Structure 1
Amino acid sequence: MMKLDGVVAFSMTVEAGSISQAAQRLGLAKSVVSERLAELERTLGTTLIQRTTRKLSLTASGETFLPRARRILREAQEATAELAARSGKLSGPLRISAPVGFGVLHLGPALGRFLRDYPEIDLSLELDDSFVDAASGGFDAVLRHGAVGDGRLIARRLAHSRRLLVASPAYLERHGHPGTPGALEQHRALLYSNRTSDWRFTAPGQGWSVIRPRAALRVNNGLIMRDAAIEGLGIALLPSFFIHQALAAGTLVAIDLGVQAEGAELFLTYPKDHGAAAKIRAFGDSLRRSFGSPPYWERVEPAPRAAPI
């Protein structure tokens, strides 16, 4: 029967480039690694590595077996991590990227809950509003609101958020309430510079309509857009997770035009066959519990407001 320690010795020897370097990384004697590798070859009935005094090279059988060996080790790591997750004993590093605005508003308490449940995890969080590639950006997982059309990734849905048209009462008093989606083109718009500037709406039984508003401000941060709207600089189309408190306080007013904007889905994305998948799943499950279903930012009641002018 093939032993896992032989697979480890083979994979590490290929990665390190020599048996002596593999032994050093594994903390074993060179003779132990060499014997484990030889036992694996005897079990498989073939030579995996061609040994010379100057270098090691993979045989054709080694080339064939290498991706399977790596998959075996990933699955063993996954199984170990999943059992650890069930007992609450997950540990080790976990590096996460998230958008700045969402992270500032919602991740502090959620991370506290997660780390209380898994105190042995060494969590790193970096906030960044630019696009972060979850497959090659150096992170274990990336929080993202928006579509994830990448076959290299697993995308776990964490929460939903409506997008709402909002403005301050002072702006609407000065400029009036738009009565139709088309009337938005005559208003000052606060636009997110990292997305298309089009606003898309739909109504029951109808397709999508596209509005191209006139920009008063373009910015790549949702919190700045929210604050600019509160200051009366224009109308913004923002996810409810940015504006729920302002709506409750009455500093922003939702503009109801009888149409619905595209929603904002929040995903946790990570590469397929990731070695830290058990930790990532535990992190996602913890976030979902913290946000609730529906999420708490969708349960806030707007402040009473006057009828449109």
Structure 2
Amino acid sequence: MKLDGISAFVAIAEAGSISEAARRLRLSKSVVSDRLAQLERRLGASLVHRSTRKLSLTEDGLAFLELASESLRRLDTAVAALAERRGTLAGPLRISAPVSLTNLHIGPALYPFLLRHPEIELTLELDDRRIDAQAEGFDGVVRHGPMHDSRLMAWRLARSRRVLVASQDYLERHGTPRTLNELDGHRGIFYTHRGIGDWRFVTAQKVVQVRGKVALRVNNGMVMRDAASAGLGITLLPLFLAGPDIRAGTLRVVEVGAAPEPEFIYVAHPEGRHPSAKLRALADCLRAAFGDPPYWEAGL
């Protein structure tokens, strides 16, 4: 049984399509399809339901997938272990990370890391949505915020202070809120991937939700920052995004007598899957590059 056929099947199952599996494997669609067909002939079983609308696994495919995926992971671990014995980090590493955080901070930290470890084959996919690391085949997921998925094990990389900010022009036109009650009536710029457009603050007694008027809902932090700078409304941003604009005076911090809920930047991996030395080294690299407290908080 050829290993490339098993790899093709697992990639198809994780990607949900032959086309996406081919993209991830850096092969043509026809090659991946042929490898799947050869594997099915070798096993004497159909593994995939094929249709023009969607792809799904047969009962045999579901039964074979679990053991095939585990076998590939064990093989990758064995190869990586041999590389580590030689004092090197090598092999594929697939990571998901947020768009804005990567553009501003993760990317600049990763480039020297990859130069030091040229045998690592890093696939970095930028996406702000919440990722199912297990189902989508990621070795690790870098995220900013609280942890919700109990199937993930997380390593903290840095704290992430968030502040309410607005432009001077907006505050002159609409007034500067001083309390949570005053904040409630203001126009807000909200992040869509957090669900409803609420701001959550910690007071001495409890966590308080404030729901402002929606001026804009968007799924990108840099657009939120720019919209606030343009005077569209008040927004709640991490300092890794808002710091330079606060220093430059483009944005002003709005104090309302309560702090936003604490959040962190973290890297997570699926529970039950032994994290590779490559993932641990990458996490250590990011942790060292960010610092404690993180460098983007300097002077604020």
Question: What is the TM-score with the length of structure 2 in the denominator?
Answer: 0.72
The one-letter amino acid paired with 1:168 is S
SS of equivalent residue, structure 1 residue 174? helix
Query: Contact conserved, 2:157 with 2:265, CA < 8 A, in 1?
Result: yes
Give the Å deviation of 1:123: 1.2
Residue identity matched to 1:155: A
Q: In structure 2, do the counterparts of structure 1 residues 154 and 116 end up closer, same or farther at CA, with 3 Å as the change threshold? A: same
Which is worse superposed, 74-83 or 168-177?
Answer: 74-83
Q: Which residue of 1 aligns with 2:188?
A: 189
Determine if contact 2:269/2:275 at 8 Å carries over to the other structure.
no
Query: Which residue of 2 is the match for residue 202 of structure 1?
Result: 202
Where in structure 2 are the equivalents of 1:4-83 lying within 5 Å? Answer: 78=77, 81=80
Determine the C-alpha separation between the residues in 2 that align with 1:160 and 1:289.
13
Which amino acid is 1:123 matched to?
L
The aligned residue for residue 212 of structure 2 is 213
What is the rounded CA distance, in whole Å, between the counterparts of 1:287 and 1:150 in structure 2?
Answer: 22
1:146 Cα shift? 2.1
Aligned residue in 2 for 1:106: 105
1:136 aligns to what SS in structure 2? helix
Q: Confirm or deny that 1:91 pairs with 2:90.
A: yes
CA distance in 1, matches of 2:167, 2:68: 60
User: Does the Cα contact within 8 Å between 1:74 and 1:273 map onto a contact in 2?
Assistant: no
Over residues 186-225 of structure 1, what are the superposed CA-to-partner deviations in whole Å (9 max), with x where a residue is unaligned? 211111112131111123x321111111111111111000
After superposing the two structures, state which structure 1 stretch, 219-228 or 131-140, moved more.
131-140
- Identity of matched residues, %: 49
In 2, the alpha carbon distance for the partners of 1:134 and 1:155 equals 12
User: Paired residue for 1:138?
Assistant: 137
Paired residue for 1:232?
A: 231
Q: CA deviation at 1:82?
A: 5.5
Alpha-carbon spacing, 1:106–1:138, altered in 2? closer, same or farther (3 Å): same
In the TM superposition, what is the alpha-carbon distance from 1:116 to its structure 2 partner?
A: 2.3
Superposed displacement of residue 131, structure 1: 2.0
Q: Which amino acid aligns with 1:126?
A: E
**In the superposition, relative to structure 1, how do residues 154 and 85 fare at CA in structure 2: closer, same or farther (>3 Å)?**
farther
Displacement, 1:275?
6.1
The whole-number CA distance in structure 2 between the counterparts of 1:177 and 1:298 is: 24
Q: Within 1, Cα distance between the matches of 2:272 and 2:172?
A: 55
Q: 1:198 to 1:245 in 2, by over 3 A?
A: same
- Classify 1:171/1:275 alpha carbon distance in 2 versus 1 (closer, same or farther; 3 Å): same
Q: What amino acid does structure 2 have at the position aligned with 1:201? A: F
Q: Would the aligned equivalents of 1:166 and 1:253 in 2 still touch at CA under 8 Å?
A: yes
Offset at residue 246 of structure 1 (A): 0.8
Q: CA deviation at 1:74?
A: 6.1
Conserved in 2, the CA contact under 8 Å of 1:157 and 1:267?
Answer: yes
CA contact (8 A) 1:154 1:270 kept: yes
Q: How well do the aligned residues superpose, as a CA RMSD in angstroms? A: 2.9
> What does residue 115 of structure 2 align with?
116
Residue aligning to 2:287? 288
Q: CA–CA distance in 2 between the matches of 1:291 and 1:252? A: 23
Find the aligned partners of 2:84 and 2:257 in 1 and give their Cα distance: 46
Question: How far apart in 1 are the matches of 2:278 and 2:149?
Answer: 21
C-alpha separation in 1, matches of 2:76 and 2:93: 15
Partner Cα separation in structure 2 for residue 103 and residue 229 of structure 1: 21
Give the structure 2 partner of residue 279 of structure 1: 278
Which structure would you say has the larger Rg? Answer: 1
Residue 172 of structure 1: aligned partner = 171
Q: Is the 8 A contact 2:178 2:257 kept in 1?
A: no
The offset of 1:293, in angstroms, is 1.1
Give CA deviations for 1:12-44 in whole Å, capped at 9, x if unaligned. Answer: 8xx79xxxxxxxxxxxxxxxxxxxxxxxxxxxx
**1:87-130 deviation line (CA, Å, top 9, x unaligned):** 65011111111111111111221111211221211112111122
SS in 2 for 1:105: helix
CA contact (8 A) 1:162 1:239 kept: yes
**Structure 1: unaligned runs, 5 residues or longer:** 1-8, 17-53, 57-66, 303-309
What is the count of residue pairs matched by the alignment?
Answer: 242
Shift of 1:80: 6.5
- Matched residue of 1:135: which SS? helix
Mark the runs of 5 or more structure 2 residues left unpaired by the alignment: 8-42, 46-65
Q: Distance in 2 between matches of 1:94 and 1:198?
A: 36
Equivalent position SS for 2:246:
helix
Query: Could you say what secondary structure the match of 1:194 adopts?
Result: helix
| CA distance 1:82–1:176, change in 2 (3 Å) | farther
